[in-house]
Chain A
Amino acid sequence: MTDSQWPVWEVFVQANPGISHKHVGNVHAVDAEMAIQNARDVYTRRSEGISIWVVPANAISASSPEDQGAFFEPSNDKPYRHPTFYKIPEGVKYL
């Protein structure tokens, strides 16, 4: 077996209850259990988290920068999806 630094796992940490897990970096590990422990030791040394997700780095699929235009620009011309698009007369409450 060739020497290696083990596979890469991406680490997501939830800082507080009620908010999303956020990507914080990665660790190297041979399996999920080790990845979780390593993530705990590396990324929560200062009480930064209450929950950890780890995902094998090669299991993540991502959109590509070339797709940026096609993927994300079409939503730029749909301001009517945002509440500020609509003018409501002053004095109307709870809208």
Chain B
Amino acid sequence: MNDKFEPNIVAFLCNWCSYAGADLAGTSRIQYPANLNIIRVMCTGRVNPLFVLNAFQQGADGVLVSGCHPGDCHYMEGNYYARRRFTLMRELLEYVGVDPRRFHMSWVSASEGAKWKEVVEEVVENAKAVGPFDQFRRNKINW
């Protein structure tokens, strides 16, 4: 793949664990690639599978959903719903021809700033390996 390719990643992070973990990475001045932008939701259970499709449609090269470790959800079971939904989602994406390396789920707690860096690096590297994504891009018809 093109070495210069810088993928664009959209991440959905739950407020209580992963968003706080990403904040901790910042407070600890842990450096990681700038390719990933975060959308904060209260819980991964809120992340509509549609958001993932929409992100790809807008042109994202990769999508990450990250929440509390299973069993640690601030809302008791929201991340279980997310886990089920996105396990299916991953299958569906693969089925329709999206490389599964473009879609990731991770569990990062509020104390895992260092793990957050590893997750970002992994997601970015994976997206780099698959290359730019434009299969799903909404095409504007030029009349």
Q: Are A and B interaction partners?
A: no
Binding site for B on A (CB under 8 A): none
